[in-house]
Structure 1
Amino acid sequence: MATTRTNKELFRRVFDALNDRDFDAFADTHADDVVLHDHDEEFHGVEAVTEHEQALYEAFPDMKYTPKVILAEDDRVAARWTATGTHEGELEGIPPTGTEVEFPASGVLRVEDGKITEVWLTYDQLGMLQQLGVVESPGE
């Protein structure tokens, strides 16, 4: 069984790979049959998970993840981070706005044999959509 430190380092490698736009390194941190739970969507397999992440970078080419906290126990790793980026490409049917966004996110990973096998991801979707101007903030 991997150590807590090793599992925390695995999450750091994910952040580094994404911030470097190194999707091969990102894929190498995941098991072939990884499952990503992203709010109400599920993605099965390392190719689907990698493509999902690449689509985000097409919409936000300068996307950056800044880890705030990484905790680990046994086969689970949890993290909280801030995501920032400029909306320069289509995002799920939303045309580019040129708007810079910043929103909090968090995730929990399950690690097996040094690879990520399952991910539960949450982030402030509403806040991001409000920043993009496609959803009104209360009181506007």
Structure 2
Amino acid sequence: MPQHDLEALWEAHCRYEFETRDVDATMATMVADPYVNHIPTMTGGVGHDHLKRFYKYHFIGANPPDTEMVPVSRTVGASSIVDEMIFRFTHTSEIDWMLPGIPPTGRRVEIPLVAIVRFEGDKLVHEHIYWDQASVLVQLGLLDPAGLPVAGAETARKVLDKTLPSNTLMKAWASSEGRPI
């Protein structure tokens, strides 16, 4: 059982990042030598100054005003949280951490996103953030999904609604219909 309320610590950290957009308050939730890695784009920072610079100029404040995180599931361990969510936004500004160098397209994006967060005591040590970059690029019109096993916003919708069709990218799926199982 965690010694500290890790959920409350994580929620405060996210509130400072996305609601109040307060770099100093965000950094105050972290250990002296934290790190963040957004896996698909390798953006983030290692160490206080590097991460604070990243947060100040490339993350907090860079997110579009309609950014929304919809909780899906959360697992809390003794010193970590795994948070699954749907991350939604309209691409109205350059989002360096997710889409480095890509000018705003004005398009809506919704993707499943997973955060793996580790704590030491009452401070956040690191975040590993995962999402499907191909899905983001498809939704922005930057990647043509024709002939590729990638999908767009339907990936997020499927997470929220298990009744939506599965296996739509598998051309061979229909050939197994009616076969013995």
What range is the shorter-chain TM-score in? 0.7 to 0.9
Residue matched to 1:8: 7
* Paired residue secondary structure (2:9): helix
State the number of aligned residues: 139
**Per-residue deviation, 1:47:** 4.3
**Per-residue deviation, 1:16:** 2.1
Which stretch of the first structure deviates more once superposed, 127-136 or 25-34?
A: 25-34
- Distance, in Å, in 2 between the alignment partners of 1:121 and 1:33 is 18
* Paired residue secondary structure (2:143): coil
Residue 107 (structure 1) aligned with residue 115 (structure 2)? yes
What residue ranges of structure 1 are gaps of 5+ in the alignment?
none
Residue 31 (structure 1) aligned with residue 28 (structure 2)? no
**Per-residue deviation, 1:53:** 4.7
* Paired residue secondary structure (2:62): helix
Over the matched positions of the two proteins, sequence identity in percent amounts to 24
Moved over 3 A (4+): 46-54
Residue 126 (structure 1) aligned with residue 128 (structure 2)? no
Q: What root-mean-square deviation, in Å, do the aligned CA atoms of Structure 1 and Structure 2 show?
A: 2.4
Structure having the higher strand fraction is 1
With normalisation by structure 2, the TM-score equals: 0.66
What residue ranges of structure 2 are gaps of 5+ in the alignment?
149-181
**Per-residue deviation, 1:50:** 4.6
1:62-81 to 2 correspondences below 5 Å:
62-81=66-85
With normalisation by structure 1, the TM-score equals: 0.83
